[in-house]
Amino acid sequence: MNELNLNVSRADQQAASVNKVVRNTYTLLSMTLFFSALCAVATMALGFGQGAGLLMIIGGFVMSFVVRATAESSKGILAVFVFAGLMGGGLGPTLSAYLAVYSNGAAIIAQALGGTGLIFLSLSGYALTTGRNFNFLGGFLATGMMVMLVAMIANIFLQIPAMSLAISGAVIMLMSGFILYDTSRIVNGGERNYIMATISLYLSIFNLFIHLLNLIAALTGRE
């Protein structure tokens, strides 16, 4: 009986620990996404160019390594907001370009934003409610990302529109897989650090939005 009670107590403690990570992750994720949106609006209002935006995005990816290095300390919270600010600020000039080039630019951005929200909430919600383990996706997703990186670099030189659309479609599928994978790791105790969980989900959402934006613009954009 004592052993049974001990097992029940451990299970309760593990469930409480997982719930805490889930709660902290989605709270921090919401805050960083909101902060990113504010920074994007700020750089749009200030008229930042594409060059400045690219530098901010590069700075954001550099900061992602700082976040991972400081995730076990309170400095990680500050680092993740600097990261989110740079990523959001870097996105601003891209959004300004869509508004300037396409007559329905605002609608394209709204559709991409809505699509990103729908995909994220649906997939993350599914993984949260079912508790299904998606660890089996890890190897496939890692391989897929390497292939996509090679394809993206190649298309910088080739500049093939059809290839760009194919890449965006593939990245959308990969990011959807990462959302399932990362949420599953949180739910099943594979990720205990909510800062690390936040940055993983943030990057999936960011890339999902960028490539949805490209795909929707190509299919519905009016110059």
104-149 pLDDT, tens per residue?
999 999 999 999 999 999 999 999 999 899 999 999 999 999 999 9
Global pTM reads 0.92
Query: CA-CA distance, 206 to 42, in Å (whole number)?
Result: 18
The pLDDT, as a whole number, for residue 6 is 47
- Domain-by-domain residue ranges, the chain? 2-220
**140 vs 192: CA distance, rounded Å:** 23
For residue 18, the model assigns a pLDDT of 81
In the chain, which residue ranges form alpha helices assigned H by DSSP?
2-45, 50-70, 75-101, 105-130, 138-158, 161-187, 194-220
Task: Report the pLDDT value the prediction gives residue 220, as an integer from 0 to 100.
Answer: 87
Residue 190: the pLDDT is 80
Residues of the chain with pLDDT under 70: 1-15
C-alpha neighbours within 13 Å on the C-beta side of residue 158: 11
